[in-house]
Amino acid sequence: MRDAVADIADRIAARAGLRPPAWVVEARAGERAKARGVRLGDYRKLLDGDAGELDALVEMLRVGETRFFRHAEQIEALRRKLIPALARRRPAGETVRAWSAGCATGEEAWTLAMLLADGLPDRDVRVLGSDLSEEALARARAGRYRAEAVADLEPALRRRWFVRRGRAEVEVAPALRERVTFERRNLVEGAAAGERWDLVLCRNVLMYFDAATQRRVVDRLAASLVDDGFLVVGYAEHGAVRDVPSLSQLPGALAAYSRSAPVGPSVAKVARKSPAARRKASTALPPPVLQTPRARPADGPAIVRVDGMATAAEVAIAVRAALAAGGELVVELDGARHLDDDIATVLRRALAAARASGIATKLVATRPGPRRWLARHHLESA
């Protein structure tokens, strides 16, 4: 069984660069095997001659959590620092090209187009949204979302960029739609030949790749940028979580702004003509917002402490690593300054996986805020 799971995992990595935990591969491959009416060992053989089946399995492993204007600090960094920098570099009338790499169902690509259109009103803004999932891209191209998805947006943004479709849905307005295109792309293969981007967003994608694939993807994304272009990554990609390599540790290290810098820790700037400056800046990385033990204590559980402004992606990495190690898991929430719906989704999935694997999991919250949050999301320990 383990040989079959490892072999299937290798095929997934070769196809999409993903390296999910073994228990996730076994669970998802088991579901597909059952649907095809075969055992797991035979399912491995079935993958040999059926690329479509391998794509279906990758689709089940796809992480599609996204929303409009996700991660306020990163949005403000784009709005106040990067977009004004693009405005200084691109005279009126010129084209500004941006790529949302791993856009899922499109919310990030549309958000990027709104930000650029507002910040660069006299430029021709073109945004590409790409993802590996055809199902997600179909939703992105349709541009239709539940009304709740834009409920928190500023009224002026909603009026400008969305059209009501009945009581329950909104649709992206034509003026925004004409700026954005969507394509199926595998980030492991990099950008198309000859492409050059002013801005690339690849947020909360790299963390699902193994270290070698991360290196290849980052190198290829960096190579697709114009000189002094910008690469924006998620918080977790900055080495805040154990076992996730920092971008500064990759070949051709990117210059990362420190937490105290105006742009914030979520932005990496590629200065391809200044290697010395790049090495110097890459040493200033943000401190961890999640803490997991490097080794499980012999007489106690693994502990994941959710601190500060931890994101759902960071929580997912830490919890998955702990679950993969087996044994009891404790998730402590009292140190969190913010707990959102995405983190609730991550913990709910983790609890389900723990039950399926017979792993005892405890969610700990003593402060009133985290306790109310747990109750509101109906989260209970496994």
Q: Is 294 assigned a catalytic role? A: no
List the one residue out of 67, 70, 57, 65 whose CA is nearest residue 20: 57
**CA atoms of 270 and 274, how far apart (whole Å):** 9
The answer to whether 251 and 215 are in contact (CB under 8 A) is: yes
State whether residue 159 is helix, strand or coil. helix
Q: Is 177 assigned a catalytic role? A: no
Q: Which helix (H) or strand (E) holds 76?
A: helix 72-77
List the one residue out of 325, 307, 319, 309 whose CA is nearest residue 345: 319
Q: How far is CA 216 from CA 121, 221, 279, in A?
A: 35, 9, 19
Residue 219, token pair as written in the block: 């190198």
**CA atoms of 235 and 36, how far apart (whole Å):** 38
List the one residue out of 315, 300, 304 whose CA is nearest residue 348: 315
**Beta carbons within 10 angstroms of residue 337's beta carbon:** 11
Residue 63, token pair as written in the block: 């992480």
Q: Bin 276: left if φ > 0, else alpha if -120 < ψ < 50, else beta.
A: alpha
Pick the catalytic residue from 19, 97, 126, 131: 131
**CA atoms of 209 and 201, how far apart (whole Å):** 16
Pick the catalytic residue from 19, 28, 90, 123: 28
Active site residues: 28, 131
